[in-house]
Structure 1
C-alpha cells in the first residue's frame, strides 16, 4: 500500500522537508504523484530509503549515495551485509565501553580496583575495518572497475574513446598555464568527468584518486603529457578542486 510523505517521514524518523529534498535532487523520487500533487511512496521506495539512511549513517555524502544506489552494478544484498558487519562491530565497541563504565562506577564506590589498562580498555578511535571496506567498495574501487571496463572494449570502441579523450585533453592542455580552480579549467574538467562517467561511477574520492593516478602511474603521465607537458599534474590539481566541490 502506498504511503504519503508525512507517513513515510514519521515511519523513518526524518522530516518531510528531507524527503522533499531527496525528491528534488533525484535521490528518492516517489513512484506516484496524485493529481492533487501528493507524493505516494511504494514498497520499492521504502527499501531505497532504508538503504539511503544506512549510507548516511556512515557519513556518505548524498551525491555519492545517489551515484552508488543508482548504478547498475549496485548489489543491495551485499550492501546490507556490509552495513550489518559495521553495526555489529560498533555494537561490540559500545559493549566494551559500557563494561568499562560499569567497572569505573564500582571503583568509585570502592567496590573494586582497576588497573590503568582496564580504565582505557574500551576506547578505540581507529576506523572500523568494515567501514574501510565500505569506503573501498564504493569509493576507490570505482577507479578499478572503470579500468576493467575499458579493457573489455573492442579496438573500434577504444579508437572512438581515444579520439574523444584526445579532444578534451587538447582543450585542457591549452588551459594548463592557468589556475586549476579557474572557471574555464573547472568547466573542462566537468566535461572530462562526464566523459569518464560513461565507464563507471566516480564519487569525489574516486575523482581525486584518479587524478592522482595520472601522476603516480608513469604510463598515464606519458600518455596525457603527449598533449602538453605538465598536463597530467594540472589535471590532478584541477580534479582535486572539482572533487572538493562535489561535496554537498
Structure 2
C-alpha cells in the first residue's frame, strides 16, 4: 500500500507517517524508483502496535525503544495492551456512573455522599511519570517517589496543601515580569519545594517549565489556578535557572 492509502485506512495524516519514517519508528519495506513509499502487511502490523502504545500514552521515543528491542514479543505486547485498556475502560465506566449520579444529585433526585462524588478518580499513578522519566531519567522520579512513599499520610497531606498554596501564591503574581524580584522569589520557593521531594538540576527545572507550556495537559491543569500561570512559570523558571548557573 502507498502512504496515502495507509493514511486513509488508519485515519492519520500522511505527514505523521513521514515523521515515523524520519525518526526510524516505522520505515516502509519498499520505496519505488520514483520515490513512493510502499508499506507491507508487516508494516501495517507494526503500525497497529505503535498506535496501541500511543493510545495508552507512551511517547514515540519509548515506543521505538520497545518495538526495536530484541526481546520484544508482539503477542505479549498485545496482552499488555488489552489489560491496560480494560483497566482504562473500567475506570471510565466508573467515572460515567459518577457523572450520571451527579446529574441526578444536581436535579435533586438523589443524595450523594462526599465519597460517591469522587468515585472513579485515581491519582495514585501519575500519567506524566513516563514522560518525566524520558526527559530527565529515572533518578529524580525514583527519589521523589521513594521520599513521598516513606511519608505518613499526614505528611503527604501537608505536602499537598503546601503545593496548593504555592500555586495560589504564584497565580497571584503571574502578571509580574518573570525577572522581577517578586517573581524570582516565588519561583525559588517552587524550586526548593521540588528538590525537597526529588533531585532536580537547574536544567531539569528549566525543561520542566517548558513542558508546562508545550504539553496542553500541564497547561490546562496549571491554568486552573489562573489563566496564563503556565506561561509565567515557564518564563520565571527559565530566568531562575539561567541566573543561578553563573
Cα RMSD (Å) = 3.5
- Aligned mates of 2:137, 2:17 — CA distance in 1: 28
How far did 1:88 drift? 0.6
Q: Report the equivalent of 2:62.
A: 64
How far did 1:128 drift? 8.2
- Aligned mates of 1:205, 1:72 — CA distance in 2: 24
After TM superposition, the runs of 4+ consecutive aligned structure 1 residues lying more than 4 A away are 203-209
Q: How many residue pairs get matched?
A: 148
Residues 129-168 of structure 1 correspond to what in structure 2 (within 5 A)?
Answer: none
TM-score w.r.t. length of structure 1: 0.51
Contact residue 86 and residue 128 of structure 1 kept, 8 A: no
Alignment pair present for 1:102 and 2:113: no
How far did 1:127 drift? 1.7
Residues 1-248 of structure 1 correspond to what in structure 2 (within 5 A)?
Answer: 3-127=1-125, 204=134, 208=138
Contact residue 9 and residue 16 of structure 1 kept, 8 A: yes
Post-superposition Cα deviations, 1:127-154, rounded to whole Å, max 9, x if no partner, equal 289x99xx7xxx9xxxxxxxxxxxxxxx
Contact residue 5 and residue 41 of structure 1 kept, 8 A: yes
- Aligned mates of 2:111, 2:49 — CA distance in 1: 45
- Aligned mates of 1:19, 1:62 — CA distance in 2: 12
Contact residue 100 and residue 119 of structure 1 kept, 8 A: yes
| Residue range with higher mean Cα deviation, 21-30 or 56-65 | 56-65
Q: Higher RCO, 1 or 2 (CA under 8 Å, sep at least 6)?
A: 1
TM-score w.r.t. length of structure 2: 0.51
Computing the radius of gyration over CA atoms, which structure comes out larger, 1 or 2?
1
